[in-house]
Amino acid sequence: MMKKTERINLIMRYINNRAQFTIKEIQNEFQISRATAIRDINEIQAMGFPLVSENGRGGGYFVMQNEYLPPVHFTKDELTAVFISFLASKNSQLPYLKNRKSISEKLIGIANQTQQDELIDLNSILLFENTNPANPNVLELDDAAPPELNQLISLAVQSRHLRVTYEWSPGFRELLDLWLFHIFNTNGQWLVEAYDFGQNKLRYLPVESLRESMISSQKMKVSEDELTELKRSSLRDGNLQISLDYMGIQRFKRLHPPGIILSFTGMFQSSGQFNAQIDIKNGEELSYFADWLLYLGDGVQFDKIPDQLRRLLLEKVSHLKNKL
């Protein structure tokens, strides 16, 4: 038999997804008596859940539109895990985050006094990749996500086919018709991975440079499955093919350009390979890849490399030798 606390939590989730419901519906959904259903609803209302009752034929309960969600009960370990996850996100540009201090205080406020002290101590004990070790409580200026991110996420859950204005340089804009694959954060920057229907190619665009995003009214000429295959083929048929040993893989995990997928070829992830398509006419891109490949260290084996990138790598190595 379901416990009362568990049942009330399930009822709150059930009614939170509805604009209106009746006691009869609660009875049928949870196989409980009318008296039990009424007691449970009264208890939920007492918790502050925004319900309005209406008597008479066709009446029932109406869920008021409210920014606050129903209460959720955590175990001690669950609350600690949630709090640590939130600490780990510091300076990570979380979307929808307006006030980090407010969220921290609410999480700590859920706990009893003993656990509250433990959670506060964790804030000074645990350090994460984006934490300033000299002053863990300092929030960097980039803790806030770009304002365009929330709007983009809200649109993407409705449709992946979007029309956006891309400001590739201050004052220089272009209107793009895109199919959005992913929105992701890498190296402290939010990027959009999308197929550009105008240029017929896969692109990675910084979210902070997107303006006036909206759902596209253009008719798609290819299906979603065809777009996914186009993406796979562009990554598969790259002009740069690299094999990595274990140490190279560890460095790859810490830092790699967006869109590159590492395939493991050895047992226990001891070796791997990746392909990339480099624009050999783009000097900035060539320089970035040259520096990154040097960062990967001795664990790199070049299976295929454009001549322009090879020459640039040799120039950089020679320049370093002359400085020693």
Judgement on whether residues 83 and 135 belong to the same structural domain of the protein: yes
Q: Which DSSP helix (H) or strand (E) runs through 283?
A: helix 283-296
Residue with more model confidence, 45 or 33: 33
Residue 68 lies in a domain: no
Burial (CB < 10 A; 0-12, 13-18, 19+), residue 248, is buried
CATH of the domain at 31: 1.10.10.10
As a three-state string, the secondary structure of 53-111 is EECCCCCEEEECCCCCCCCCCCCHHHHHHHHHHHHHCCCCCECCCCCHHHHHHHHHHHC
Q: Report the DSSP beta bridge partners of residue 145.
A: none
Mean pLDDT of the chain: 86
Q: % helix / strand / coil in the chain, to the nearest 5?
A: 45, 25, 35
Q: Give the residue from 115, 143, 171 where a domain finishes.
A: 143
Q: Please state the three-class secondary structure of 146-205 as a single string.
A: CCHHHHHHHHHCCCCEEEEEEEEECCEEEEEEEEEEEEEEECCEEEEEEEECCCCEEEEE
As a whole-number percent, the residues of the chain with pLDDT over 90 amount to 41
pTM of the full structure: 0.66
User: At which of 189, 204, 230 does a domain end?
Assistant: 230
Instruction: Give the model's pLDDT for residue 287.
Output: 93
Query: What dihedral angle (degrees, nearest 10) is formed by the CA atoms of 141, 185, 85, 268?
Result: -140
Instruction: Give me the percent of the chain exceeding a pLDDT of 70.
Output: 91
**pLDDT of 10:** 85
* Same domain assignment for residues 155 and 224: yes
84 with 134, same domain?
yes
Average the pLDDT over each of 180-184, 239-243, 320-324 and give the range with the smallest value: 320-324
Q: In what order do the strands lie in the sheet with 240-244?
A: 263-264, 272-276, 240-244, 300-304
Burial class from Cβ neighbours inside 10 Å (0-12, 13-18, 19+) for residue 130 reads middle
**CA nearest neighbour of 212 among 148, 145, 156:** 148
Check residues 136 and 318 and name the one with the higher pLDDT: 318
Residue 264 falls within a domain, yes or no? yes
Answer yes or no: do 136 and 112 share one domain: yes
Q: Which amino acid is at 63?
A: V
Q: Which has the higher per-residue pLDDT, 64 or 220?
A: 220
219 and 168 in a common domain: yes
3-state secondary structure of 212: strand
- Whether residue 58 is found in the same domain as residue 95: no
Q: Which residue has the tokens 């009446």?
A: 59
Residue 265 confidence class, pLDDT cut points 50, 70, 90:
very high
pLDDT attached to residue 123? 80
CA-based R_g, the chain, Å: 26
Query: Which of 44-48, 76-80, 300-304, 309-313 is least confident?
Result: 44-48
Q: In Å, how far are 16, 69, 78, 295 from 66, measured between CA atoms? A: 10, 8, 26, 50
Local structure of residue 219 (DSSP, 8 states)? P
* pLDDT attached to residue 56: 56
Does residue 319 share a domain with residue 242? yes
Number of domains into which the chain is organized: 4
Least confident of 49-58, 135-144, 243-252: 135-144
- Note down the domain range covering 83: 76-143
In a domain, 70, yes or no: no
pLDDT at 181 over 90: yes
